[in-house]
Amino acid sequence: MGMWLFLFTELILFGGLFIVYAVYRYTHPDAFHLAAAELNTFVGTVNTLILLTSSLTVAMSITAVQEGKKGFALALLGMTIMMGLAFLVNKYFEWGHKFEVGIYPGAPELLAQPQGVILYFGLYFVMTGLHALHVIIGLAVLLYVFEAVRRGSINAGSYVRLESGALYWHLVDIIWIFLFPLFYLLH
Amino acid sequence: MSHTDQSAHAQHVVSYSRYVVIWFGLVALTALTVALAGIELGRWVIITALVIASIKSLLVLNIFMHLRFEDRVFRLFTVVAFVTFLIFIVMTFFDYAFH
């Protein structure tokens, strides 16, 4: 219950940014399409599939814990953590490439572009950056949960912490479900 | 489910196969939204993208996040939260339309 209330506050946090996005997209439609062409749809799609699959494994780990299958639960949680890391590695290379071609906040090449393009990339870095921060926090939570399952303090009789951690991870997935089409699929 | 205490909902076990079926649905919807992005749909682009993203979110919320198995009052809370957010968006655009 408390976890859900926290998730509602996250909705307000990202929701506010989505409204900013909607308004700027409405006022600069052409620049947004132009700027979106810079993003690599393939990398975005791969990252979407990674996060969806990591949501699957963390959801399945709850069933495994409920059934008392500790080893299977740990394997599923381990896979979830590996996929979260893979997502961040992809993001690292994606952002790294942007920086190389002169697309980062305050870059001279970027500031020479139309205002709509500057706004698009400003939102891109803030929203995907904030999302990546949530992935990092989610990974820390999952590592803690993994350790608690391993020690046996999370077990078939008591697994609220696992459920809460999983809820947070699914929220990170849902935010990405919206970020992906809004930034990558604007052709 | 409703006649017992809080711990009752926690006992709800979702089968692995059900999760996997939902995952297949999510992957299929991702493929659909990527495929549609390649087609020139004009102003429908954003609408189809948001509808697909909303369906995906509902699948994650209902099954992966077990919302479907929570009690009714609780589900109502989440609906209110999302509707409030939708109203914010609609009001923002009404403001723009009539400026």
Distance CA A70, CA A64 (A): 7
Query: What local confidence, expressed as pLDDT, does residue B99 receive?
Result: 63
Signed CA dihedral, A180, A11, A33, A103: sign only: negative
CB B48 within 8 A of CB B64: no
% of chain B exceeding 90 in pLDDT: 38
Distance CA B18, CA A71 (A): 21
Does B5 reside within a domain? Answer: no
Does B3 reside within a domain? Answer: no
Does B6 reside within a domain? Answer: no
The verdict on B61 and B97 lying in the same domain is no
Does B96 reside within a domain? Answer: yes
The verdict on B22 and B46 lying in the same domain is yes
Q: Which residue in A30, A2, A39 sits closest to A115, CA to CA?
A: A30
Distance CA B60, CA A31 (A): 33
A chain contacts of residue B49, beta-carbon cutoff 8 Å:
181-182, 185
- pLDDT tens readout for residues B20-55: 999 999 999 999 999 988 787 777 778 888 899 999
The verdict on B50 and B80 lying in the same domain is no
CB pairs under 8 A between A and B: 102
Print the domain residue range for A145: 2-184
Does B1 reside within a domain? Answer: no
> Which residue has tokens 């219950």?
A1
Tokens of B10: 């926690």
Does B53 reside within a domain? Answer: yes
pLDDT tens for the 187 residues of chain A, in order:
789 989 999 998 999 999 999 889 989 989 998 899 889 999 999 999 999 999 999 999 999 999 999 999 999 999 999 999 999 999 999 999 999 998 998 888 899 999 999 999 999 999 999 999 999 999 999 999 999 999 999 999 999 999 999 999 999 999 999 999 999 988 6
Instruction: Classify residue A156 by its DSSP letter.
Output: T
Q: Which long-range contacts (CB under 8 A, 24 or more apart) does A126-133 make?
A: A126/A17, A127/A14, A127/A17, A127/A21, A127/A179, A127/A183, A128/A91, A128/A179, A128/A183, A130/A13, A130/A14, A130/A17, A131/A14, A131/A172, A131/A175, A131/A176, A131/A179, A132/A88, A132/A91
Please state the domain count of chain B: 2
The verdict on B18 and B51 lying in the same domain is yes
Q: What is the mean pLDDT of chain B?
A: 83
The verdict on B77 and B98 lying in the same domain is yes
As a 3-state breakdown, chain B gives helix, strand, coil percent values, each rounded to 5, of: 80, 0, 20
pLDDT average, residue stretch B10-14: 77
**B63 CB-side CA count, 13 A:** 24
The verdict on B77 and B97 lying in the same domain is yes
The verdict on B61 and B75 lying in the same domain is no
- Which residue on chain A is closest to B58 by alpha carbon? A174
CB contact under 8 A, A63 and B16: yes
Beta strands in chain A (DSSP E): none
Print the domain residue range for B19: 12-65
Does B54 reside within a domain? Answer: yes
Tokens of A129: 């950056």
Confidence of residue B1 (pLDDT cuts 50, 70, 90): very low
Please state the domain count of chain A: 1
Q: What's the CATH code of the domain at A69?
A: 1.20.120.80
Query: What local confidence, expressed as pLDDT, does residue B44 receive?
Result: 78
- Which residue on chain B is closest to A4 by alpha carbon? B78
Interface probe, candidates A11, A55, A76, A79, chain B, greatest B C-beta count within 10 A:
A55
The verdict on B16 and B36 lying in the same domain is yes
CB contact under 8 A, A19 and B88: yes
CA dihedral of B6, B7, B12, B13, whole degrees rounded to 10: 150
What ipTM was assigned to the predicted interfaces of this complex? 0.92
Distance CA B84, CA A94 (A): 34
